[in-house]
Chains A and B, each alone.
Chain A
Amino acid sequence: MRSPDLLRHAWAIASKDLLVELRSRTAILSVAVFVVLVLVVFNFGRDPTAVSNIDLAPSILWVTFTFAAILALNRAFQLELENQALEGLLLAPVDRGSIYLGKLIANLVFVATIECLGVPLVALFFNVPIIPHLGPLVATIALATVGFVAIGTLFSAMTVRTRFAELLLPVLLLPFMILPLSWAALATGRLLAGRPLSEITGWLNMLAVYDLVFVILAVLLFPATVNE
């Protein structure tokens, strides 16, 4: 398969998913409300006189993104279970890799939308300065998100066809999410504390390597999750 075709098919699948979501808007609204609720609940779990906002904000940000992403990731292949849509997709003359990439792009857009909502809300609720560090912060979030969404998309293709799909995905995914999350949370903490950029380049490099390894691995392994 030529690579322009691979990307063209991937984009077709992604835009199909995004269009379905745009028309109904149920999933994105539910996850958006979920993000707001998690942030509000966090407010009760802290003592502002004991721990300063700036120390707590990175953890709050990343825990919220973790839960929201898991909710979002379950959706990608759940969509295809209705009316055996997945069988139709697999019968279409497109490469398995482009089906995976299409789902990955749709999931990334979905999770990125939630993150665009989450970051300003954390800044608002917990009074942390994000505008001065916006560039590096966005880079950190983007690098971490690609890594765990890549693995999550792969795993959700398997878990939707098991018993207890909603429960199994987080159980399988969290051990893989924690590494990029821990690096991202450390980098975010340094950024918000106004430390120089050179302190976080190590974490960003690790995130980039992690993304590269797991995106390639997921593209290679995806056919094994759908081929009979």
Chain B
Amino acid sequence: MKMLRVGRWISGLGLVLLAGVYVRALAYTPVEASQGLAQKIFYLHVPAAIWAESAMVLVGLASIVYLFTKDLRLDRFAASSAEVGTVFCAVVLTSGPIWGKPIWGTWWTWDARLTFTLFLFLLYVGYLLLRSAVPDPGARARFSAVLGICGMCEVPFIHLSVYMFPTLHPMPIVLQPGRPKLPGSMLATWLFSLGVFTLLYIGFVVQRYALSYLREQRESHA
């Protein structure tokens, strides 16, 4: 199938460029003064976090349109986006503690931002569990659309909440009012990494979409 091949190529390119991000981050970007080498995780952690949240928003948007049009392609996209979002969320939740141990002195703390990233992860897991618990494709699409829309509406609350709790987590330094507060070379590496993660998201979703299409074909023939 053509789509599956295209997805593989995009993901492959994304993975090669991800190696490029590592090289650029480790060899060509200055070491941060107070955090040292641990700060390098920032180039991986933040783009993954941005896509983990964006994937949930895309699930919600696709779900809204699905409820109006009943177009199964949107349901397939929502399922793919949720699965990729789960993986990105897992990347955030594993890379965070690796940074947290040397900088905070602990792998995990019940800080607002960590806690809510964990909720987002559990939200994704719940979404995928719901999909697997409904055998009928029509009901599965409707139920998961309802959950997806609720999930999307919860993201702003999670975001707002982060600012209301006292937090240990570094505040945003790129996406904030005014100019980004980091040197040009770091910003360039970060933007490169964000581009690579975008590519990876697209590649994974396209592949996953093609796979669920093939699975549906097989089920309808069986």
Contact = CB atoms under 8 A, between A and B. Distances in A.
Contacts of A179: 119, 154, 157-158, 161
A175 B122 contact: yes
Given A168-B130, A172-B130, A154 B119 contact: no
Nearest to A180: B157
Interface of B: 67, 119-120, 122-123, 125-126, 129-130, 133-135, 138-139, 142-143, 145-147, 149-150, 153-154, 157-158, 160-161, 164
B154 A225 contact: no
Contacts of A168: 129-130, 133
A158 B136 CA distance: 13
A223 B153 CA distance: 18
B133 A163 contact: yes
A155, A172, A174 — most chain B CB neighbours (10 Å): A172
Given A179-B158, A228-B138, 16 more contacts: A151-B150, A161-B134, A162-B143, A168-B129, A171-B125, A172-B126, A174-B122, A175-B120, A175-B126, A179-B154, A179-B161, A206-B160, A206-B164, A210-B157, A217-B153, A225-B142
A130 interface: no
A213 interface: yes
A92 to B, nearest CB: 21
B43 to A, nearest CB: 28
Nearest to A151: B150
Contacts of A224: 67, 142, 145-146
A44 interface: no
Given A174-B122, A175-B154, A210-B157, A154 B146 contact: yes
Interface string A136-161: 00000000000000010011001101
A8 to B, nearest CB: 26
Interface of A: 151, 154-155, 158-159, 161-164, 168, 171-172, 174-176, 178-179, 182-183, 202, 206, 210, 213-214, 217, 221, 224-225, 227-228
Contacts of A228: 138
A161 B143 CA distance: 10
Contact of A162 (B133, B138, B158, B160): B133
Q: Is the interface of A mostly helix, strand, loop or mixed?
A: helix
A12 B134 CA distance: 31
Contacts of B158: 179
Contacts of B154: 175-176, 179
A196 to B, nearest CB: 18
A195 B158 CA distance: 26
B152 to A, nearest CB: 10
A223 to B, nearest CB: 9
A164 B126 CA distance: 13
Contacts of B146: 154, 158, 221, 224-225
Contacts of A154: 146, 150
B129 A158 contact: no
B129 A178 contact: no
Nearest to B112: A182
A217 B126 contact: no
A172 B119 CA distance: 11
B133 to A, nearest CB: 4
Nearest to A174: B122
Nearest to A165: B133
Given A171-B126, A206-B164, A224-B67, A161 B149 contact: no
Contacts of A163: 133, 135
